[in-house]
Structure 1
């Protein structure tokens, strides 16, 4: 059973129209699933403060490589995961509570040819569905604010 806190978060972030909005935005740029690039997705992939430049500066600090299997906690639609897979060659697993984000992220990875290096799984950062030591490195961006139990997150 989903806790009330988790349900509130998923209800808040679930719109049911995320992928359609992205398709419409791309169409306005003359792009489609057949010709979209990672750069084209930048405005939706890095809609946080600092954008793509901040994502790069943050992930550079992890010294990621093609040998790394990385966990992206609270991955949303997978923008940082796609960035890490493309820039560093890393294999990335994204974890997010919101099913719509997971589904959208999978579609976007297929569009830009990164589905072989990125997988997404629905789940909670405080009760991760992975065995200990499954990943070489992990990060989270702009998700801590949504997790009330910080001890469970980092414990």
Structure 2
């Protein structure tokens, strides 16, 4: 099994679509009546969920005339948010077939199939023509990609001159021993955390100019505190949430990620870049 297959296997659920449907039904929502907002708790697989998406994606200044690439799209939650909020056409790509298949159904449920196309593929070998996209983004993806330079070479290739790329990844902030499992990896075998300076180097080496960088650690800490308080008050998780994706491993992965964050080993970081005209 190569690394791509190992990563895909890590995220494979088995009965994901039916699990989401059950969660919706517990909330009194029929799938055909579901909205992008209804699905947000389960299909935004990154720290901060929909709140983080809005803060991050607003910086890309996406418009309704643009074609946007969602790299590592997962279930397509962020793609649906972009299509609904900004009116853009979105293409997503992800390694995990079940995520792509499930995400395609979810797009149909919320009536966005005409503006979103999700594909199964590798971000280091994008199946798109040069200068195909007005903008691109990736959210909590780089931790599963060893060769950041190869990744950003491909992204730069498919971006149009003047296009923006947004990155919202968990990045390494010290050299202390890391605690596994975490949401993106069970062991270090499929985890390639990198420092912000490594991202900057790989981006600049591929002709991309950094516009802004922001460490979102304080936001992340507040987010997890609120999530725990809500769970404690409700005596358990809600019908829909990231626990639906991670199943029984949620009880280990989330506390480990929070512990790594508290210890200063990692931090969620946003980087906004442009491709020169």
Confirm or deny a common fold (TM above 0.5). Answer: yes
Aligned counterparts of 1:129 and 1:48: Cα–Cα separation in 2: 25
| CA–CA separation in structure 2 for the residues paired with 1:86 and 1:121 | 19
- Indicate which of 20, 27, 30 corresponds to 1:29: 27
Q: CA RMSD in A?
A: 1.0
Query: What are structure 1's unaligned runs of at least 5 residues?
Result: none
Matched, 1:101 2:77: no
| Matching of residue 19 in structure 1 with residue 27 in structure 2 | no
**2:85, 2:108 → 1: CA distance?**
17
Work out the CA distance in 2 between the residues paired with 1:144 and 1:83: 21
When residues 9 and 56 of structure 1 are mapped into structure 2, their CA distance, relative to the original with a 3 A threshold, is: same
Matched residue SS, 1:34: helix
Q: 1:46: how far off?
A: 2.2
Are the equivalent residues in 1 in contact too, given 2:95–2:122 (CA < 8 A)? yes
Q: TM-score, normalised by structure 1?
A: 0.96
Name 1:79's counterpart in structure 2.
77
TM-score (norm 2): 0.54
Alignment check: 8 A CA contact 2:69 2:137 kept: yes
User: What does 1:138-153 align with in structure 2 at a 5 Å threshold?
Assistant: 138-153=136-151
Q: Residues 147 and 42 of structure 1: is their aligned pair in 2 closer, same or farther, counting only changes over 3 Å?
A: same
Counterpart in 2 of 1:9?
Answer: 7
Q: Distance in 1 between matches of 2:146 and 2:28?
A: 42
Structure with greater Cα Rg: 2
Instruction: Deviation per CA, 1:78-131: give whole Å up to 9, x if none.
Output: 010000000000000000011101111110000001000000111001011111
In structure 2, list runs of 5 or more residues that go unmatched. Answer: 154-277
**Is 1:38 the counterpart of 2:28 in the alignment?**
no
Q: Normalized per residue, which structure has more strand?
A: 2
